[in-house]
């Protein structure tokens, strides 16, 4: 996916860019006609969105996955271990929520800054609003596997990189069987918490994935990676 924009397509890149812009706006904004009140509102927008990316969204995703793992444990567990259900994450001091449309307001502001008679390349570079061409083509997702102990069950942790896509489509097969749909995921990691099939003491699980955008899987498959579970 080619990108010709100052605004990063990845959430990691957005964290860095938004933090930088928030710090530089009070320095350069007044020179280009941005009022002190608007600067405060923009920083409020950015603070809230950074909190969503760094804390709220990852935590709610973990809560959902822990809930799924607990449900599967209770129906298919071996009768040992705790039965206490996982508690949802509590956010004691969330920042104030602004009105929806943070990106629209931000891009409108940047357009007005660039239209100012005082705007110049030095200001653009300092704010990070000069477009940079990224010619790297990411044909497939990148992912890695780790076998680890989860909530009373051995699980396969799948970390992946989306490169600005909506998400990834994951397929899996067990012990050389047929490929089957496993999941669509939009936030890493994905946790494969399926128990071993009845009668199996160990399993070789293979995984492959492709892009998922606008409710449709597309693109080439990644290479196959394997994880071994059990004895």
Residue extents of the structural domains in the chain = 3-134, 142-230
Burial class (CB in 10 A: 0-12, 13-18, 19+), 94: exposed
What CATH number was assigned to the domain covering residues 142-230? 2.60.40.10
pLDDT of residue 70: 85
Taking only the tens place, the pLDDT of each residue in 46-73 is: 999 999 988 998 899 888 888 888 888 8
Structure-token pair, residue 109? 């502001």
pTM for the model:
0.56
CA-to-CA dists, residue 165 to 2, 102, 141, 205, angstroms? 12, 20, 9, 25
Taking only the tens place, the pLDDT of each residue in 2-19 is: 334 788 877 888 888 999
- Average pLDDT score over residue span 141-164: 88
Asked if residue 39 lies in contact with residue 25, where contact means CB atoms within 8 angstroms, the answer is yes
């Amino acid at each position: 996916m080619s990108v010709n924009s100052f605004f990063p397509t990845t959430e990691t890149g957005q964290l860095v860019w938004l933090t930088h812009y928030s710090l530089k706006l009070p320095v350069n904004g007044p020179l280009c006609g941005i009022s002190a009140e608007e600067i405060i509102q923009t920083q409020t927008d950015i603070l809230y969105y950074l909190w969503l990316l760094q804390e709220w969204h990852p935590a709610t995703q973990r809560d959902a996955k822990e809930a799924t793992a607990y449900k599967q444990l209770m129906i298919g567990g071996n009768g040992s271990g705790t039965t206490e259900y996982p508690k949802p994450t509590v956010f004691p001091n969330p920042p104030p929520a602004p009105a929806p449309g943070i990106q629209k307001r931000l891009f409108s502001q940047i357009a007005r800054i660039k239209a100012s008679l005082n705007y110049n390349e030095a200001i653009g570079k300092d704010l990070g609003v000069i477009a940079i061409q990224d010619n790297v083509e990411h044909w497939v997702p990148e992912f890695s596997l780790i076998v680890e102990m989860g909530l009373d069950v051995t699980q396969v942790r799948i970390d992946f990189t989306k490169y600005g896509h909506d998400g990834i489509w994951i397929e899996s097969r067990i012990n050389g069987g047929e490929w089957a749909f496993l999941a669509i995921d939009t936030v890493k990691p994905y946790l494969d918490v399926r128990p071993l099939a009845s009668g199996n003491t160990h399993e070789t699980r293979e995984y492959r994935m492709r892009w998922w955008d606008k409710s449709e899987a597309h693109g080439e498959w990644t290479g196959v990676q394997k994880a071994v579970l059990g004895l």
